[in-house]
């Protein structure tokens, strides 16, 4: 007799997890409904039932990837820091999180390349990156207000754009040349940019 039926929302999550495994292993070119069905141990028809088409599957995976990869900056545990150090600490956390998430970042870059031919894909990614940048504005605004002499003529929006642009550049580097991605070196450079000075020889924030 067949086992208990899995709720449809749980089954959909399982299929998305299988799609992620296929895409990170075989890249987007290998992401087919049949490959996902095989990975999940289900019929191809069940994949079509949940996503209607390969395009529907791809877009659903992109939505999930953006939800779990392009996140709001993590400011937990930074309330005791000055606004400038709070900004620095938050950027450091995002950079330190890149190497363990390299496959996610690589897949996001694959989607961006796909977006050159699919405007809906590019629009989704642009919005996620814009939201990510906007989430940094309160941090950059507080830093500028606290030490305006350090950032003459700099707006919160421009500082947020530079901060997230630096993180995005690091993301590209960790995918293109992971063996040469030197986290301490990038963080030391970041400190020099944010603080406008060479940081002392001390451990960066954990």
In this structure, of 69-83, 154-168, 172-186, the range with the lowest mean pLDDT score is 69-83
Interval 154-167 mean pLDDT: 96
Which of the following CATH numbers is that of domain 71-195: 3.30.160, 1.10.357, 1.10.1740, 3.40.50? 1.10.357
**CATH class as words, domain 8-66:** mainly alpha
Q: What is the pLDDT of residues 93-120, one digit of tens each?
A: 999 999 999 999 999 999 999 999 999 8
Assess contact for 148 and 131: CB atoms under 8 A.
Answer: no
d(CA 160, CA 183): 21
Would you say residue 2 has pLDDT above 70?
no
Interval 126-142 mean pLDDT: 95
Q: Which residues of 26-57 are buried (b: 16+ CB within 10 A; e: fewer)?
A: eebeebbbebbbebbebeeebbeebbeebeeb
d(CA 114, CA 97): 25
Would you say residue 3 has pLDDT above 70?
no
Assess contact for 36 and 18: CB atoms under 8 A.
Answer: yes
Domain ranges across the chain: 8-66, 71-195
Measured between its terminal Cα atoms, the distance across the chain in Å is: 53
d(CA 173, CA 194): 20
Q: Burial of 120 by CB count in 10 Å (0-12 exposed, 13-18 middle, 19+ buried)? A: exposed
Of residues 129 and 72, the one with the higher pLDDT is: 129
Q: What is the pLDDT of residue 70?
A: 75
Would you say residue 75 has pLDDT above 80?
no
Half-sphere exposure of residue 98: CA atoms within 13 angstroms, side-chain side:
29
Would you say residue 200 has pLDDT above 80?
no
Q: What is the pLDDT of residue 205?
A: 46
């Amino acid at each position: 007799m067949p086992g208990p039926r899995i709720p449809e929302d749980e089954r959909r999550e399982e299929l998305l997890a299988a799609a992620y495994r296929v895409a990170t292993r075989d890249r987007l070119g290998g992401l087919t409904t049949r490959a996902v069905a095989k990975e999940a141990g289900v019929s191809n028809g069940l994949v079509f039932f949940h996503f209607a088409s390969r395009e529907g599957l791809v877009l659903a995976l992109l939505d999930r990837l953006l939800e779990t990869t392009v996140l709001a900056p993590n400011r937990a545990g930074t309330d005791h820091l000055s606004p400038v150090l709070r900004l620095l600490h938050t950027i450091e956390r995002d950079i330190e999180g890149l190497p363990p998430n390299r496959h996610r970042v690589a897949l996001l870059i694959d989607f961006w390349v796909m977006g050159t031919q699919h405007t809906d894909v590019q629009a989704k990614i642009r919005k996620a990156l814009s939201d990510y940048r906007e989430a940094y504005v309160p941090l950059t605004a507080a830093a500028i207000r606290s030490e305006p002499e350090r950032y003459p003529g700099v707006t919160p929006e421009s500082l947020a754009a530079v901060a997230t642009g630096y993180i995005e550049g690091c993301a590209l580097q960790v995918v293109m040349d992971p063996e040469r991605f030197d986290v301490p070196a990038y963080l030391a450079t970041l400190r020099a940019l944010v603080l406008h000075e060479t940081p002392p020889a001390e451990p960066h924030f954990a």
